[in-house]
Amino acid sequence: MRHYLIHSGSVKSKNEPVVRYSDFHLAGQACSDPNNMLWLSVASAWEMQIKMALGKLTLNRPLAQTIADQQTTNGIQILAVELPHVLEL
């Protein structure tokens, strides 16, 4: 099993590499591989909720329902963020 960090952000620093199509293709392959576990960070859900409140993200359903559907459909698990994780940065 391989571990991948798939992050999609709207803000890029000047030192951040440009994401190429092949990166998205590889990410899609990794997500489609049934041998890989899929995780959604609580921090990512928090960021999505903030973007929805600011009108920068629109979903067809409430975020909670979208996440629940993805948990059921794709087996996504929720990754909690705790203080020790933050302090390890």
77 domain residue, yes or no: yes
Residue-wise pLDDT tens digits, 7-48: 554 434 445 555 455 667 777 787 888 888 888 999 889 999
56 has a pLDDT exceeding 80: yes
Query: Which of 66, 30, 68, 23 lies closest to 8, judged by CA?
Result: 23
Structurally, the chain folds into a number of domains equal to 1
30 domain residue, yes or no: no
- Whole-number pLDDT of residue 53: 95
pLDDT band at 62 (very low <50, low <70, confident <90, very high): very high
Query: Which of 4, 41, 39, 10 lies closest to 23, judged by CA?
Result: 4
Structural domain boundaries, residue 71 = 36-87
80 domain residue, yes or no: yes
Residue-wise pLDDT tens digits, 64-81: 999 999 999 989 999 998
